[in-house]
With several copies, the nearest count.
Chain A
Amino acid sequence: MSETVLLYESLRLMLIGMGIVFSFLLLLVGILRLMSWTALRLAPLPQTEPAALPAAPGSGDGVPIAVIAAAIARYRAGRRR
């Protein structure tokens, strides 16, 4: 193969290649969103619990504690177990 043919070849490779990489990862973005949507329907995160928490203890100054607890739960759920 002469240098020019090879260069032309590699240009085509670049276009096709970047095209595939982008399409592939774009598709993956969509599928991952779908996955997360489904997964969170099937098994909601435990951070929904804090929403129920404030109702339980009742009195006024329980609220900030509950909010902090919810924040901590959220934060910890966000990190790895």
Chain B
Amino acid sequence: MDQLLKLWQSMGIANMDIGQAMMMAVGCGLVYLAIAKKFEPLLLVPIGFGALLSNIPVAGIGGPDGMIGMIYTVGVETGIFPLLIFMGVGALTDFGALIARPSTLLLGAAAQFGIFATLIGAVGLNFVPGFDFSLQDAAAIAIIGGADGPTAIFLGSRLAPELLGAIAVAAYSYMALVPIIQPPIMRALTTAKERRVVMQQLRPVSQLERILFPFVVLMLTALLLPSAAPLIGMLTFGNLLRECGVVERLSRAAQNEIINIVTIMLGLAIGSKLSADKFLALETLGILVLGALAFCIGTACGVLMGKIMHRATGGKVNPLIGAAGVSAVPMAARVVNRVGLEEDHHNFLLMHAMGPNVAGVIGSAVAAGVLLALTGP
């Protein structure tokens, strides 16, 4: 009898509270979005399943002695996992389009306005009863507008670990929604004539330029904004492994083994931050609304900067490519291409949008560095 009671007390249903049940449902929902709707499945499948596992009562898988809790401590709290993923992103990214036309960096810069506008929005929410975001919380939320998963996770784990789950989920969800969020904004802000602009073929880029590029970017970061150096450093390191041509083995390891293994671990670890008391709160609703806002503002600012460049260059720049400045590589660039093709079936903007697209990655890492330097501990 005693043992049967012990057994009953060890059961999940005897210990499950309503919050855990709801978070398990949220986990299943994320996996559903990932599989059925193809919402960034590489991250959302592990995040969703991690949420499921971490909210199982009694088991404590996400707790300090549980497997996922230990993975979180080792990989996310230290910031190592997002940095390793950023190394892989660097090794997978071709910066050629950006090197060929550096001015597209300005599009990547403009799109970061979404981040800073959201910062104000988050602080403004404090006037609504029930919200109490610190400046650091607001900065961590704002980075969702950067449309860059590893950057958001890196900054979130530094500035507001208790919001990390909601921030990561919002970041990846909106990145997945890029094809739905962006086109109406792009169409609203441009004329049909602007969207039909055919851009000039990109010039070829030499290998020396490709090899020097990581050093130039890193050096400027080191001199001006060292708080962005871990992110930019690993991004450029990965890119150097790719471009230098003498370390094929290491480049492959960064592009495959390391990024795949770390993605699984990182996803599970972030899932463990989806706990009822943190996620089923008013704050999460605020974060989701602000995240959407950040994306829209970022897209709009990118397109507006595209229009400015369109005028400044005498019509050589198609303003649509500004929308790719939010990063979300390579989806945003594909969306640009698609909207461009709607107007002119022979106008392929993909390569031209890759420049602002990868510029957006650098831009949001720089913005993360700024936020870290100005609000960080």
Chain A residues within CB distance 8 Å of chain B: 1, 3, 6-7, 9-14, 16-18, 20-22, 24-29, 31-33, 35-36, 39-40, 42-45, 47, 74-75, 77-81
Contacts and interface: CB of A to CB of B under 8 A. Distances in A.
Interface residues of B, number: 54
Given A14-B117, A17-B370, A78-B203, 14 more contacts: A10-B122, A18-B113, A21-B366, A22-B109, A25-B108, A25-B366, A26-B109, A28-B220, A29-B102, A32-B99, A39-B206, A39-B208, A78-B96, A80-B96
B13 interface: no
Contacts of B7: 16, 20
Interface of B: 3-4, 7, 94, 96, 98-100, 102-103, 105-106, 108-109, 112-113, 115-117, 119-120, 122-124, 126-127, 135, 138-139, 202-209, 212-213, 216-217, 220, 224-225, 245, 359, 362-363, 366-367, 370-371, 374-375
B367 A17 contact: yes
Contacts of B224: 24, 27
A52 to B, nearest CB: 17
A15 to B, nearest CB: 8
A54 B349 CA distance: 32
A54 B204 CA distance: 21
A28 B105 contact: yes
Nearest to B123: A10
Contact of A17 (B105, B202, B216, B374): B374
B126 A6 contact: yes
Contacts of B217: 28
Nearest to B301: A18
B135 A21 contact: no
A39 B213 CA distance: 10
B209 A29 contact: no
Contact of A33 (B102, B117, B138, B366): B102
B81 to A, nearest CB: 25
B225 A35 contact: no
A50 to B, nearest CB: 12
A32 B208 contact: no
Counting from the closest, the 9 A-B pairs by CB-CB distance are: A78-B204, A32-B102, A77-B204, A14-B116, A25-B109, A10-B123, A39-B208, A25-B105, A3-B126
Contacts of A35: 209, 212-213, 216
B370 A21 contact: yes
A47 B103 CA distance: 24
Nearest to B6: A16
Given A20-B7, A81-B207, A10 B135 contact: yes
Nearest to B224: A24
B205 A78 contact: yes
Given A24-B224, A26-B109, A36-B209, A47 B204 contact: yes
A14 to B, nearest CB: 4
A78 B120 CA distance: 42
A31 B109 contact: no
Nearest to A20: B370
A64 B364 CA distance: 46
A18 B3 contact: no
Contacts of A26: 105-106, 109
Contacts of A32: 98-99, 102, 105, 213, 216
Nearest to B109: A25
